[in-house]
Structure 1
């Protein structure tokens, strides 16, 4: 299984490895004994014990059986699932279609009170129109998802947008100026999307910043990411979806967001940039 280099993901893998190593010690075994009992090469035990290789559920069951701790297998497998949830490849996350990931994130949006979002290639989902969402998800579906549930996924994302208008929530969006011209939709749909962006930018609980192309930068564009309160960061990478909860790493993303936000234009300046992008559509 491919793994992320994130310290949050690594920390979760290390905790699981430590628990497995403790079982061996408590059973009075060493690595060679365990390997013989499981029918493995000793190097496999070493890699799992040092968190260099992530075990499978069957590996954990064999490990617990060899240590006389079969009653702990289910708990350790649950820990494995939590580790796997820290880093998910798009193939695994979307294997049942696009709707599921939209629905599963709804509780996170509902319990968050302060949102910070940075996007370098497309508008954030909370600011998308129905047609723009459909066009973006259709491109994703055609590229990597065998199941076509785009219509249901769009409906789920539209439902999630209710958090913009419910409760005492604050939203800070920062986008790169090219996002205004990255056309995944037809000209008409793109124009409607930009008009919607103008409207949303006037909501009292929304801050929308646009980082101009023509300026000296203090921070290069980075991957799209969301910060939920100060508790969690989600990052969209080419290969998958990363969840970060380690406080020091969350703080790093918060500092990066602050730097990017400080570079952005707001209010009338931002709206003039959006209007210029609309005008360029002809």
Structure 2
């Protein structure tokens, strides 16, 4: 559990304790009103258990402070949406982040991912990954452990060949044309993508340029089972665990997937991007 998450949970517990004492109740009285074990009241107040929305609403009601329920719920949402600064995560370089993702993938049965601007890390060639990591290290002004990070990113691709998992990945066609590396590196990357089409346990879809959409292409995101979503921005990595947030990104996924093509259509779009490299 992250230090930020635990600190937030302790802060929420302290606020619950304030509401209880302001109502003139001791822990035993509060437990009796709520119909809970006394230990649950203690765990919540000391930040040793994460409250649910129902817990917080009941607490506010029994503490005669129903008007506080909205604030308590907002605090809980703050725990469930965790911002992890890239600067802080990359203080020792990129390798650790790549290795953490291996753990994330191996604890997931169904992974759905969407990228709008780059080829997903799970499908990257070493050379393509190297250029992205170098660009990012320069931008973030973090240590350049590039070769170690590239090796770690390639090692995490082993999950594609392990049983018990499915990978459903979509990319915006523009990502196939974005020259974030030399042309020969991009050509090899596109060849690698062609080899991913039709793989067992992997579904690769591409959203063509010019296709009618029910919403704009948005930013990239990854849905791990039905439990959490990870969203990367320029400066942070968001971990969303609230049920409504996961459901929202699920709906975004569904709308984007309606516009995506598969199979031979993907081959054609990749071939078009490959041909454009030769012409430009």
Bucket of the pairwise TM-score, normalised by the shorter protein: 0.7 to 0.9
Match of 2:39 in 1: none
SS in 1 for 2:229: strand
What is the TM-score with the length of structure 2 in the denominator? Answer: 0.74
Deviation at 1:144, TM superposition (A): 0.5
Match of 2:12 in 1: 18
For the aligned residue pairs, the C-alpha RMSD in angstroms reads: 2.9
Unaligned runs of 5+ residues in structure 1 are 1-10, 31-68, 77-81
**Which whole-Å CA distance do the structure 1 matches of 2:248 and 2:79 have between them?**
21
Tell me, yes or no, if the aligned pair for 1:13 and 1:83 is still in contact at 8 Å.
Answer: no
Tell me, yes or no, if the aligned pair for 1:95 and 1:145 is still in contact at 8 Å.
Answer: no
Match of 1:8 in 2: none
**Which whole-Å CA distance do the structure 1 matches of 2:118 and 2:212 have between them?**
22
Match of 2:58 in 1: none
Match of 2:223 in 1: 227
Deviation at 1:245, TM superposition (A): 1.1
Unaligned runs of 5+ residues in structure 2 are 25-41, 50-77
Question: Is 2:164 the counterpart of 1:143?
Answer: no
Q: How many residues align?
A: 229
Tell me, yes or no, if the aligned pair for 2:80 and 2:240 is still in contact at 8 Å.
Answer: no
TM-superposition CA deviations, 1:40-91 (whole Å, max 9, x none) = xxxxxxxxxxxxxxxxxxxxxxxxxxxxx9xx98969xxxxx9498211211
Deviation at 1:146, TM superposition (A): 2.3
What is the TM-score with the length of structure 1 in the denominator? Answer: 0.74
Change (3 A) 1:95 1:29: farther
Match of 1:117 among 86, 101, 113: 113
**Which whole-Å CA distance do the structure 2 matches of 1:220 and 1:28 have between them?**
48
> Where do 1:21-100 residues align within 5 Å?
21-24=15-18, 83=79, 86-100=82-96
**Which whole-Å CA distance do the structure 1 matches of 2:271 and 2:19 have between them?**
66
Deviation at 1:204, TM superposition (A): 2.3
